Amino acid sequence: MMPESFNSNFEPVLVNKEVNVPLSDSAQSLSDFILSRLPDNRHPLGKPAHHHFKKTGKQLRGRMALTAADCFGVPRAVSLRWAAAVEILHNASLVHDDICDGDMVRRGAPSVWAQYGRDTALALGDWLIALSFELAAEAAVMGQTPRLVRVLSYHMAATTTGQALEFAIDSYPSWAKYMDISTGKTAPLFVASVEGIAHLADRNDIIAPLQRFFTAAGGCYQIANDMLNVIGKDGAASPASDLLRRAPNAVIVMFRTTLDREHASAFDKWLASGTDHNALDWQTRLRRSPALSMTASALMSMFDEAESSSDALPSDCQAIITPIKAQLRHVCRDLVADNS
């Protein structure tokens, strides 16, 4: 546990600090640790917080941090705090992202804003960011690595910049611009999860190749999520909700490339109008076009790039990325099989 002098400076009110969790199962220990640091029901954000974390999700970022720590000999008390910091920051982004996207379902349950309202969801996301940096500071002190807080800050800024790029576009993006947005939103916290452990273990040599791998892997995740949105399996209120929101989406970007000049002009005018008029017609055209199969091909190319870049990692780092490679392979193959 942290020294009391340190905790007193960072203590969120009504948080359960004591942690007694079995550490043999990394995923379970991470879940239990995160739950132990959430506010209890006396806190105004207690119920929304526990609602969001009732299902923890895949915890890929946190699990990779713990795997890296085990590979490099970083003490579990330190790595658990860093893993939780990154995982909680990711979840803060999900809470906020659901508001931006209008997504009413998260992990099979109502999203926080759908259940408790936008204001509460905004407040919870902010509170989780504060908790994330508290945990990063604890890990930094325990691991005598002050740089950790800066690492988390840098990658949070990169993630929010990627999100802001989405809002800043004044016309539907090209494929290149879309990739800048998608990798900017997805890759940074994957990199952060292992970069922090690398600094703790004095293994700065792995940071650059990890960044290359996660840039490609992050692109895969975003493309897959976009395909699920168009198919109607991402938890959004309706299939192809990104089309109604005019949000950058890989399938929609591909769809636009299939249109001749006349129809591309009509599509651009409809996008710029902001109206729902003729939305069903454009959704139907999108689903009937080859855009999904084209996007599936692009997804596999991106996955091949991720696999190729992983070969540059030292052998003692391969175990770190094995879970994400396995999941990516499964997701990519399923989507390609269903949409080719």
Least confident stretch, 87-101, 104-118, 267-281? 267-281
Helix (H, G, I), strand (E, B) or coil at 170: coil
What is the mean pLDDT of the segment spanning 201-218? 88
Instruction: Name which residue leads in pLDDT, 330 or 112.
Output: 112
Helix (H, G, I), strand (E, B) or coil at 45: coil
Q: What are phi and psi of 15, to 5 degrees?
A: -110, 135
CATH of 7-339, one of 3.40.50.720, 1.10.600.10, 3.40.1190.20, 3.30.70.660: 1.10.600.10
Q: What are the structure tokens assigned to 146, written together?
A: 């002050």
Least confident stretch, 78-82, 144-148, 168-172? 168-172
Per residue in 28-66, pLDDT tens?
Answer: 799 999 999 999 999 999 999 999 999 888 888 999 899
**Hey, how many other C-beta atoms are within 10 angstroms of the C-beta on 144?**
8
Per-residue b or e along 214-249, where b marks 16 or more CB atoms closer than 10 Å to that residue's CB:
bbbbbbbbbbbbbbbbbbeebbbeebbbbbbbbbbb
Q: What does the pLDDT read at residue 56? A: 83
Q: What does the pLDDT read at residue 169? A: 67
Helix (H, G, I), strand (E, B) or coil at 105: strand
Closest CA to 328 of 309, 308, 300: 300
What is the mean pLDDT of the segment spanning 195-210? 91
Q: What does the pLDDT read at residue 235? A: 62
What is the mean pLDDT of the segment spanning 225-245? 80
Instruction: Name which residue leads in pLDDT, 189 or 102.
Output: 189
List the domain boundaries for the chain: 7-339
Q: What does the pLDDT read at residue 111? A: 95
- DSSP structure class, residue 24: S
Alpha-carbon 308 to chain mean position: 22
Helix (H, G, I), strand (E, B) or coil at 254: helix
Per residue in 163-184, pLDDT tens?
Answer: 888 777 667 788 888 888 888 8
Beta bridge partners of 109: 106
Residue 30 near residue 87 (C-beta atoms within 8 A):
yes
Q: What does the pLDDT read at residue 236? A: 62
CA distance 68 to 322: 11
Least confident stretch, 60-69, 136-145, 159-168, 206-215? 159-168
Pairing relationship of beta strands 109-110 and 105-106 according to DSSP bridges: antiparallel
Residue 10's pLDDT band (boundaries 50, 70, 90)? very low
CA distance 325 to 167: 30
Question: What radius of gyration, in Å, describes the C-alpha atoms of the chain?
Answer: 21
Burial of 171 (0-12, 13-18, 19+ CB in 10 A): exposed
Closest CA to 60 of 99, 36, 30, 15: 30
Q: What does the pLDDT read at residue 316? A: 80
Residue 67 near residue 26 (C-beta atoms within 8 A):
yes
* pLDDT, averaged across the chain: 85
Residue 11's pLDDT band (boundaries 50, 70, 90)? very low
CA distance 178 to 255: 13
